[in-house]
Structure 1
């Protein structure tokens, strides 16, 4: 089923993945207004990676594929800055973008039917799950003890896309991949490339 909606957009220099959490500090008036509206109505907004332009001031162009963001925690500081934590929901495709009078971007989007959330991790990618466990334990990530999720192919792919040392454009490429096994293979190839570079002696 095709689901279309119009949502406010928050272009950022980072990629939000479904199921991932992202802390944000809100201080621009246009985004304070947007977050206030979302808190009041329960509406979600779209996070998309900036392709050109800046986060602060003016307008920015963003990539076509982004992620719906749901506010799960917030706190207003004495200096007026709003601190929020959002959680990635469903991916979307940006069909049309425009600006409101207050320079807030909004877009007409089509939600993307994601892969089977319960797809089991194939044995050939078990090393990726093991690597994610090691990273989660080392950095004491919030999901380190959620053992059952480490057998979920979609979840493992998204979490590794977040935590591996990748450029923003590389993370965006992983977000845009529709097939879960294709995403896992891209991650495995990237890890092998880095490992090969580290093992190559300097000439």
Structure 2
């Protein structure tokens, strides 16, 4: 994911994560906003590791971060600078799983999405794993135009086949008539 770093607390976070070579957490905001007072995050998020820095057209810092292991928030606190910190429990990493044939249409849809999307984001999807049920499900949940709550519920599923089944149920919404 590409992020625009625009608040001093986030610049500090980027500096701290870079120096310590550690990830930061990314959670859906349930209440509040990205800027200003600390927001209320969803209970499940993902770790993100900074992979690159760049300057944006407006002069602000941009970062390229790679999502990683998911976690559940146990407790949060707000630092004096407004930065939200949390104690988390890491979820086990879902092992790669061969994509069952009944979900091959999802891999085809993802491949087309990547062809269209990856032109400007080749570094994000340089090594597609279209035969892995985990990778296909997570990338579709990331790239399809879903409501935030739908995306969150898909990413909270811990069974890759259940995630693919839920995505299959959403497919009619994306079909064109005629």
TM-score, structure 1 normalization: 0.80
1:27 maps to 6
User: 2:35 matched to 1:81?
Assistant: no
2:31 maps to 52
Comparing both chains, which one has the higher relative contact order based on Cα–Cα distances under 8 Å and sequence gaps of 6 or more? 1
Q: Which runs of 5+ in 2 are unaligned?
A: none
Cα deviation code 1:146-171 (max 9, x no counterpart)? 46x11011000011111111111111
Q: CA RMSD in A?
A: 2.1
Aligned residues: 175
- C-alpha contact (below 8 Å) 1:92/1:112 kept by paired residues: yes
- C-alpha contact (below 8 Å) 1:47/1:67 kept by paired residues: yes
Distance 1:167 1:199, change over 3 A: same
User: 2:116 matched to 1:138?
Assistant: yes
User: 2:105 matched to 1:127?
Assistant: yes
**How much does 1:81 deviate?**
2.2
TM-score, structure 2 normalization: 0.90
**How much does 1:25 deviate?**
1.1
CA distance in structure 2 between the partners assigned to 1:145 and 1:134 by the alignment: 14
Q: Which runs of 5+ in 1 are unaligned?
A: 1-21
CA distance in structure 2 between the partners assigned to 1:72 and 1:57 by the alignment: 26
CA distance in structure 2 between the partners assigned to 1:119 and 1:52 by the alignment: 35
Structure 1 segments (4+ residues) deviating >3 Å: 76-80, 143-147
- C-alpha contact (below 8 Å) 1:27/1:80 kept by paired residues: no
SS in 1 for 2:99: coil
Distance 1:78 1:135, change over 3 A: closer
**How much does 1:125 deviate?**
0.3
1:61 maps to 40
